[in-house]
Structure 1
């Protein structure tokens, strides 16, 4: 038995979406080039990214995944993953912000009734919403307490992505009486919602992260999208796909950071000088240490990208199966994403750290901004460590055990 095999995806599905994908990748590249021009200055200023969100909104990227019949871009997940990776290469924090928006705004399709999901997506387009929050499990969960006419939402969610600029918040909350978890959508301006900036983070400063407090916030039945229970009697394999779909966004984010730092380091190396031999141009065949380091990092990056492609094929295959997906098939998809997570995490951490070694003491210059790649990658991997995913892979390989249903804290 291998670790897992990727469910097949009909070729016609990719063919049908190819023109749309080409268009959106071009839009993403143009947006990434725009973000790259002032990435260092914006990151050092650390202001809430209202301007960055406006750039994404004007480019049409916020409504990328909404079906065309509802007014959106009509793109598929392979396109969305490619867009996140492109944006993250220029600005990892904005890439995370966009990834979180995609995951949360799309999640209604899996958790809510079809009519309600369509209504949410239609309003997302019409009112140009940006989504923030998170559906991952918190140590101190938010609670839903039944009141006349509905519920009240109470509690505190620490460092939730996108909340400083969000129009809608999607959060995980547990029923106070039963403990059952639900996905809940809340207007960010609703009475009782308080959002505080967490400006002391050393990385991902422009991901608009903050702490959200809910003080007896009214919640109606329509605000509750659906159950997040991990019980197989409640959670369908199709809904369980929300976990690998969200975690694969994290993979693309890390790959973008990896490719971004290597591209910038290469550009600098070609114009600079070797840290080991000042008389040799950096990147020259005369400098074996530099070439070896670039070779090792290229192997890491491309290996992680290949595993991400395999995981993407698996995710698309699972989504194509829809309600016919089985739990055994879901497990294969989840394990393949876990493998890609581990590889992308290693590639990002090593590339962003060792790029500084290649550049040498000059990399401490804040003007160059190379440190932002390391800080962004390290901050993300601290929130989404891969140790649990590696155990899941090992348990699946050794014991055929299904990985648990775990939603990412920060897609």
Structure 2
């Protein structure tokens, strides 16, 4: 891959990350997205899109280019409505298929896959928490191609679950004030669902991207997942109709698959990062690497120690993928019958998948350079993005706690906690 002179890029068309360059709200789609028929079609579409997204992934990462055209193609494909229930006009596909689709996109460009995450989680939240009117409106938006962003976490709060953003109700309006960070997808969304508190009660407030008082800052400066546009959102007396505030129930009120759904998307992104890294490792060894002098081989691909290492990586990858599928099927059961036992089963299976996907993402992106050699570190190849993406994305929630909750269940019959990070 040759390097690209930065002056060749029109930044009015391709705005950059961590920049003060203004990014206006994205236009709403003129036509509805494609309607998915079944699981097989969703996977086929994901593979077609991945083939389109992969060639430009290194360039977008290196130059910090937001994936505008790619995101439009992705959301118009129908995949962003994959978990809209059939009763509301959606395909209502398996959560195993959802995870498979995300992993396919992530193998091509994990930043694009991550931008989908909050949209799908929002659909799930409204499905589980909303009134019939709220469900119909939200699902109708999604089926029209409206993208939801995210204004959930806060940078300076005591814990990830502590919120200082407030909402108050003034007649027929909800008024929101606060500041958010890690707002993946907000910059390129049409609507930004925002978590805000009113006297201890949490609401998810749906705010149009161009609403007065709402400012999205393109200041995501992480060294990985650079083009997710996960910067900040400020809300200064933002007013929306009162009926756009969806009351959120406490996770302790009733068991739901909200946590496992959020987590399986994270795990799917990590396994996609691993798959993409392993594919690039194999390609580089075949086409660029030199055999080590002690191997006595003519080609790097004939080095017995490299062969063994690739075999190990593939085994671990396939184990992670298998657990991801098992987790998706268990979420299907917990969604259909949300008993405590079923939800705990879904939580535990998803946690197990999260452990293996984290491990293989980090291992595969480390092994890439060990096996491919020094040439693989040259900037022109852009392979460092795999390690940076894996290292950053696997920090979403501490996988070390997964071991604890899994072990505590099997040893002490303790049901795992229920929250968006578990």
> Number of residues paired by the alignment?
379
Q: Residues 239-254 of structure 1: matches in 2 within 5 Å?
A: 240-254=256-270
| Corresponding residue to 1:227 among 242, 248, 265 | 248
Q: 1:49 to 1:138 in 2, by over 3 A?
A: farther
Which deviates more from structure 2 when the two are superposed, residues 84-93 or residues 112-121? Answer: 112-121
Q: Does the Cα contact within 8 Å between 1:97 and 1:207 map onto a contact in 2?
A: yes
The yes-or-no answer on 1:60 pairing with 2:78 is yes
Q: Report the secondary structure of 1:332's partner residue.
A: helix
Q: Does the Cα contact within 8 Å between 1:135 and 1:407 map onto a contact in 2?
A: no
Runs of 4+, deviation exceeding 6 Å: none
Q: Does the Cα contact within 8 Å between 1:304 and 1:343 map onto a contact in 2?
A: yes
Q: Report the secondary structure of 2:136's partner residue.
A: helix
Q: In 2, Cα distance between the equivalents of 1:256 and 1:336?
A: 18
Q: Report the secondary structure of 1:164's partner residue.
A: coil
Q: In 1, Cα distance between the equivalents of 2:285 and 2:239?
A: 56
Q: Post-superposition shift, 1:376?
A: 0.9
Q: Report the secondary structure of 2:206's partner residue.
A: strand
Q: Report the secondary structure of 1:301's partner residue.
A: helix
Q: Residues 100-139 of structure 1: matches in 2 within 5 Å?
A: 100-126=118-144, 128-133=145-150, 135=152, 137-139=160-162
The yes-or-no answer on 1:218 pairing with 2:239 is yes
Q: Does the Cα contact within 8 Å between 2:191 and 2:207 map onto a contact in 1?
A: yes
Q: Post-superposition shift, 1:272?
A: 2.6
Q: Does the Cα contact within 8 Å between 1:47 and 1:206 map onto a contact in 2?
A: yes
Match of 1:366 in 2: 379
Q: Does the Cα contact within 8 Å between 1:275 and 1:358 map onto a contact in 2?
A: no
| Corresponding residue to 1:85 among 103, 109, 121 | 103
What TM-score do you get using the length of structure 2 for normalisation? 0.84
Higher relative contact order (CA closer than 8 Å, sequence separation 6+): 1
The yes-or-no answer on 1:343 pairing with 2:361 is no
Q: Report the secondary structure of 1:230's partner residue.
A: coil
Q: Post-superposition shift, 1:116?
A: 1.8
Q: Does the Cα contact within 8 Å between 1:185 and 1:223 map onto a contact in 2?
A: yes
Q: Post-superposition shift, 1:265?
A: 1.2
Q: Does the Cα contact within 8 Å between 2:291 and 2:299 map onto a contact in 1?
A: no
Q: In 2, Cα distance between the equivalents of 1:326 and 1:227?
A: 19
Q: 1:188 to 1:105 in 2, by over 3 A?
A: farther
Q: In 1, Cα distance between the equivalents of 2:162 and 2:335?
A: 30
The yes-or-no answer on 1:299 pairing with 2:320 is no
Q: Post-superposition shift, 1:226?
A: 2.6
| Corresponding residue to 1:200 among 221, 224, 242 | 221
Q: In 2, Cα distance between the equivalents of 1:106 and 1:213?
A: 25
Q: Post-superposition shift, 1:363?
A: 1.6
Unaligned regions of 5+ residues in structure 2, if any? 1-35, 154-159
Q: In 1, Cα distance between the equivalents of 2:161 and 2:291?
A: 45
Q: In 1, Cα distance between the equivalents of 2:420 and 2:220?
A: 25
Spell out, residue by residue over 1:167-197, the C-alpha distance to the aligned partner (whole angstroms, 9 max, x if none). 111232222x2x2223332222111111101
Spell out, residue by residue over 1:327-375, the C-alpha distance to the aligned partner (whole angstroms, 9 max, x if none). 2322222112111111111111111111121111112122212111111
Q: 1:42 to 1:133 in 2, by over 3 A?
A: same
Q: 1:316 to 1:67 in 2, by over 3 A?
A: closer
Q: Post-superposition shift, 1:70?
A: 5.2
